[in-house]
Amino acid sequence: MADSEVTDQSGPKDGIERAKNEGKELTKEEKQRLRKEKKQQKKGKEKKDDKAPKESQKEKPPAAAAQPSTQPSTQPSTQAPSQKVCSAVPAPAVAAAAAETTAAKEKPTKSKAELKAERRARQEADRASKQGKKGDGAQAAPAKSKAAPSELQPVVKRLPEHIQVDNPDVLKKLAKKLERQQIPLRSDYGYKVSLFSHLHQYSRKAPLTQQLSIPSSVIHPAIVRLGLQYSQGIVAGSNARSVALLHAFKQVIRDYTTPPNEELSRDLVNKLKPYISFLNQCRPLSASMGNAIKYIKKEISNIPNQCKDKEAKNKLLNCIDCYINEKIVLAAKAIAKYAIEKISDGDVILVYGCSSLVNNILCEAFEKNRKFRVIVVDSRPRLEGREALRRLVQRGIRCTYVLISAVSYILPEVSKVFLGAHALLANGYVMSRVGTSQIALVAKAFNVPVLVCCETYKFCERVQTDSFVSNELDDPDDLIVTRKGKTQLENWQDVELLGLLNLVYDVTPPDFVDLVITDLGMIPCTSVPVVLRVKNVDM
Amino acid sequence: MCVGELTAGTMELQAVLMAAGGGSRMTDLTYNTPKPMLPVGNKPVIWYPLNLLERVGFEEVIVITTKEVQKMMSTDPKIKEIRIKLDVVCIQEDGDMGTADSLRHIQQKIKTDILVLSCDLITDVALHEVVDLFRAHNATMAMLMSKTHEFTETVPGQKGKKKAAEQRDFVGVDHSGKRLLFMANEADLEDGLSIRKSIMRKHPRMHIKTGLEDAHLYCLKKAVVDFITENKSISSIRGELVPYLVRKQFSKTINNSKMKEDTEDQSQKTSDCLASHELLISSQDECLLQLAQERSCWNDHRGDMSEAYHGGKLRCYVHIMDQGLCFRVNTLAAYIEANRLAPKLFEEPAVHPSAVISEKCQMGSDSIIGEKCQISDKTSIKRTMIGNYTSIKEKVKVANSIIMHHVTIEEGCNIQGSVICSNAVIGRGADLKYCLVGNGQSIDAESERTNEVIVGSDQLMEI
């Protein structure tokens, strides 16, 4: 409205007087007045620029109808990604409230309801100012979430340390944490390709045990052994790693005795933390391992205090056995049952790399006398397909072996593609061995159905849309190969502009995946959040 | 919350140091001083493995030795500097007890896997390499070997060229160089080297090496100690136990189920005991380990249809050092070499602060002077170890020699390439080249000796 723009400079008093005179347009004028006040506050406090729209939310009740138009416009901006809620938020609210109170004084003819609203505003402003004095950003966050009841409790997550390697502050924090836990820090090796310089890159020839004492006294020997097996690749594969981890934890629990004046439920969890850091240093934890650890920690904390040591330990050992039995062994059987329905006679099935679950399915299908043949696709430098090939041929299944460069050559022959997964992310993306997304893409182009087999304990709440943000860098020296006595890449470190990249994982978008076979049934890729929600309710 | 120490039951490795050996190959030196206490770089030989264990992080060692050595150890200042707790177990000196017998003797003290060392090992190996093999592959035995060190110094008392090749060891390793497939000494192979078909089938590519020296450092599982306890016929670790374990890796009885009768086994009736023991190695969660191994996509070999490790439970590994120092002080030549190299291992002041050295003395930088020595004017000392309480008078030239404790060297002597044991007295003007002067001997003045071993007459009676 033209009038309001003219009176922009004159401040709230003129607007209020006009409001007195013009009864009908009171609310609109008030709206504009408040908008003007906001603008002035913005100009006045440029630092807290982005908080100004937030403080408008706190003014909800006061000028009653004044807010509706401003609120929707500001709401989306509040959802904007400022993770750290400044304590300055309430400050403009105070100023606004102050403006409100002055306005109230000048309007003795205001109705009781309006007075009440203003009182409420004042109270809220006081509360907000107290919070501001405390400087507690966290308390402002629930206030923010109250304003957006439609969302499920947005959790403010910190970025994990392992994808912030190029940030020296994060590294310093990590070093301090490891020092406190008496675990040596493993140093990165070699030149990292710039796109992945935020990830760790370790050398297999420099194991963490170099810096540990022999015999290891700080870390349980079973955990040291496990860490070595992880870093040398002796235990590889999502399921194998989880089972080995739980086995080692069983030994730790068996050898554990509660110190005096401590409770098992709290002390044991604290004992496990440095072990987990150690294993993380040896090789970054997988999603399945993370879920297993969460489960154990929950079980440990749920142990009642009156429980004696021996009973508690037995209970925990039983829990671990049950977990492995249910989530891994029985889940594999259930998945095999569903998957076998999908395998028909005369099928040509393509598999990639060595997935224990897919191998299991194929072996069971073969035992149930389905007639099919398998094409094993393999890729350097791990060449895991050779192991898959060995296991399948040992059973008597007819196999063909190609490298991934020949996948578009062989796909016209293929009727189905079975892929294993390392983890299933909350937005339906499949995280698996590098090369999987390529195969899924080519299969999609040839209209070949892609079926991903994954147990539910590998579902994780992370969301990722590309393979760069969070990945694992393996030892770059693995890419060096010696043929006919010549090793071309021997001195790759001396060449300045050369970087070797050995990625381990990649993510496949759900558009390329036709079906996910889990122990809960056959679901589409986009139903993963549903499963997660069901799981959370259960837990 | 402190991360805390583990209880005794969860200790990973126990160290056992074998120091009861007699030094049978260097009797000239050892007839008075037992081998563990011979000075190398002015520290007793036993100090070196103890120092290795201390550096690596051990807190306790079980030392198996004789009473005499224990007495000497308790008075030696260098041993007192060592901070590890020494649990000394004394055994009889008559030499009937082999290393395996000694392990049987201390069987109650052993609660977990052990690391067995010999007292005469001088090395700067990164011990984690050996222990990592032991841990990662869940091995029954892991040992250390190194390329044979050529001794270049002239050894006193050796006439002519060095003896022709001593009894060589034939060591067979797989393509990765880590798994031990075959081990035999030349003495045991009369007709030739024969390799079993089962080994060739499983490991078609085997590298057989002869230029390796065993460092006598072994990591053994506790089950092996239990096995030795049961089988009193095994008396030496190196001579009998190790070849037995290496052979047993490919024995049929191990790979089959526990209940199988060993009809096809050869001479040893001990095999079924071993089978039952070795199979009882792991903890109660054998099935979980099995599950993890099944699900893992790793194999230690490729080209055939069998699973990782060919399904065998008994595995022996070896770490072969190609760089660095590693040898055993069990011959005179090795002893002299040790004295040359040992000072380079540690950075310590070459001259002990309490030694009195006159200013007109020429001393090379690679010499070591011990405690309370007295070195007079116009002496020249090059590449020599001089022990404690030794006095050297004027105008003496000493080069490339080893002089032990409490030795007196009169004026005008010329000593080259020699080893002079404790309490010896070298007369005035004596000229010694490449000699070995035994303990307590005295050399007459103005005598000239070249390439001789001078020991007492009572020593000559021993054969």
d(CA A247, CA A363): 26
CB atoms within 10 A of CB A514: 18
Comparing CB atoms, the residue among A220, A239, A354 nearest residue B6 is A220
**C-beta of residue B332 within 8 angstroms of C-beta of residue B156:** yes
What is the residue-level pLDDT of chain A in tens, covering all 539 positions?
444 444 444 445 555 555 455 545 557 777 788 888 888 887 776 655 455 444 444 444 444 444 444 444 444 444 433 434 444 444 444 444 444 444 444 445 567 778 888 888 888 888 878 776 665 444 444 444 444 444 556 666 677 888 888 888 988 999 999 999 988 999 898 899 989 999 999 999 888 888 888 888 889 999 999 999 999 999 999 999 999 999 999 999 999 988 888 888 889 999 999 999 999 999 999 999 999 999 999 999 999 888 888 999 999 999 999 999 999 999 999 999 999 999 999 999 999 999 999 999 999 999 999 999 999 999 999 999 999 999 999 999 999 999 999 999 999 999 999 999 999 999 999 999 999 999 999 999 999 999 999 999 999 988 999 999 999 999 999 999 999 989 999 899 999 889 999 999 999 999 999 999 999 999 998 888 888 888 877 76
- pLDDT number for residue A100: 45
- pLDDT number for residue A286: 92
Residue in chain A closest to B300 (alpha carbons) equals A234
CB-based contact B13 A356, cutoff 8 Å: no
Over residues B90-118, the mean pLDDT reads: 86
Instruction: Bin A12: left if φ > 0, else alpha if -120 < ψ < 50, else beta.
Output: alpha
A408 touches chain B (CB under 8 A): no
Comparing CB atoms, the residue among A228, A240, A328 nearest residue B132 is A228
- pLDDT number for residue A278: 94
- pLDDT number for residue A4: 44
Q: DSSP per residue over B218-279, as a string?
A: EEE-HHHHHHHHH-TT---IIIIIHHHHHHHTT-HHHHS-TT---TT--S-TTHHHHHHHHH
Give B109 to chain A, closest Cα distance, Å. Answer: 17
- pLDDT number for residue A71: 43
Task: Read off the pLDDT of residues B168-226 as tens digits, 9 standing for 90 and up.
Answer: 889 999 998 899 999 988 887 788 888 889 899 999 999 999 988 899 999 999 999 99
CB-based contact B126 A210, cutoff 8 Å: yes
Residue A381 DSSP label: T
Give B59 to chain A, closest Cα distance, Å. Answer: 9
A213 touches chain B (CB under 8 A): yes
Q: A28 to each of A13, A66, A110, A386, how far by Cα in Å?
A: 15, 7, 16, 75
d(CA A225, CA B289): 12
Over residues B384-397, the mean pLDDT reads: 85
Give B81 to chain A, closest Cα distance, Å. Answer: 20
Low-confidence winner among A156-170, A507-521, B232-246, B421-435 (lowest mean pLDDT)? A156-170
Residue in chain A closest to B59 (alpha carbons) equals A215
CB-based contact A217 B302, cutoff 8 Å: no
Average pLDDT, chain B: 81
Chain B CB contacts of A246 below 8 Å: 288
Chain B CB contacts of A384 below 8 Å: 297
- Best mutation target, A180, A181, A186, A234, to test chain B (most B CBs within 10 A): A234
Residue B216 tokens read as 């006598």
Higher pLDDT: A13 or B366? It is B366
Residue B449 tokens read as 């000796």
- pLDDT number for residue B356: 80
**C-beta of residue A63 within 8 angstroms of C-beta of residue A107:** no
Chain A CB contacts of B83 below 8 Å: none
A274 touches chain B (CB under 8 A): yes
Chain A CB contacts of B131 below 8 Å: 209, 214
Chain A CB contacts of B57 below 8 Å: 212-215, 217
Chain B CB contacts of A283 below 8 Å: none
| ipTM confidence score | 0.85
Confidence at B286, pLDDT banded by 50, 70, 90: confident
Chain A CB contacts of B134 below 8 Å: none
d(CA A404, CA A438): 9
Over residues B356-371, the mean pLDDT reads: 79
Strand partners, B144: B319
Residue B288 DSSP label: H
CB-based contact A236 B297, cutoff 8 Å: yes
CB-based contact B3 A237, cutoff 8 Å: no
Chain A CB contacts of B319 below 8 Å: none
- Best mutation target, B3, B11, B113, B219, to test chain A (most A CBs within 10 A): B3
A325 touches chain B (CB under 8 A): no
- pLDDT number for residue A106: 46
- pLDDT number for residue B277: 54
d(CA B368, CA B350): 5
Residue A474 DSSP label: -
* CA R_g for chain A: 30
Residue B103 tokens read as 């392990």
* CA R_g for chain B: 25
- Cα angle, residue B168 at apex, residues B267 and B181 outer, rounded to 5°: 55
Comparing CB atoms, the residue among B56, B137, B296 nearest residue A240 is B296
Chain A CB contacts of B138 below 8 Å: 225
A263 touches chain B (CB under 8 A): no
Chain A CB contacts of B297 below 8 Å: 236-237, 240, 353-354, 356, 384, 387-388
CB-based contact A247 B292, cutoff 8 Å: yes
User: Is omega for the bond preceding B44 within 30 degrees of 0, making it cis?
Assistant: no
Single out the residue of B157, B118, B162 nearest to residue B26, CA to CA. B157
Single out the residue of B219, B39, B259, B6 nearest to residue B129, CA to CA. B219
CB-based contact A217 B57, cutoff 8 Å: yes
Residue in chain A closest to B126 (alpha carbons) equals A210
Confidence at B165, pLDDT banded by 50, 70, 90: low
Chain B CB contacts of A270 below 8 Å: 1
Single out the residue of B228, B269, B282, B267 nearest to residue B103, CA to CA. B228
